[in-house]
């Protein structure tokens, strides 16, 4: 779990509080073919919904996704980074 990094959106030096995946910024209908052809990213990875945090930043940036940065984060149980515990029910 702590051996594989995750990639998280960052805006204005602030990391996404819910660890938004960078691919949530892309529209599957418009961008799927380009991402598949140029980067080999399968369409199934483009269906994620962005969080309110990411939507707010995207609105602040006037829809310009290039204003976001991507941060490589190493999960850590000790520091509670990218680790969550869910209870059934």
C-alpha span between 8 and 36 (Å, rounded): 21
C-alpha span between 9 and 11 (Å, rounded): 7
Number of domains in the chain: 1
Does the global pTM surpass 0.85? Answer: no
CA 2 to chain centre: 18
Model pLDDT, residue 64: 97
**Would you say residue 41 lies in a domain?**
yes
Span 28-58, pLDDT tens digits: 999 999 999 999 999 999 988 999 999 999 9
Q: Is the pLDDT of residue 82 over 90?
A: no
Model pLDDT, residue 1: 67
**Would you say residue 50 lies in a domain?**
yes
The domain of 41 spans 6-73
C-alpha span between 54 and 88 (Å, rounded): 28
**Would you say residue 13 lies in a domain?**
yes
- Tell me whether strands 14-15 and 69-73 are parallel, antiparallel or unpaired: unpaired
**Would you say residue 82 lies in a domain?**
no
Length of the chain: 89
Model pLDDT, residue 47: 85
């Amino acid at each position: 779990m702590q051996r594989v990094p995750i990639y998280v959106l960052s805006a204005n030096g602030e990391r996404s509080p819910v660890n938004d995946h960078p691919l949530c910024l892309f529209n599957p209908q418009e961008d799927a073919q380009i991402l598949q052809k140029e980067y080999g990213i399968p369409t199934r990875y483009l269906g994620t919904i962005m969080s309110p945090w990411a939507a707010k930043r995207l609105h602040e940036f006037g829809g310009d996704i290039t204003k976001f940065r991507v941060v490589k984060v190493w999960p850590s149980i000790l520091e509670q980074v990218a680790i969550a515990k869910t209870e059934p029910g």
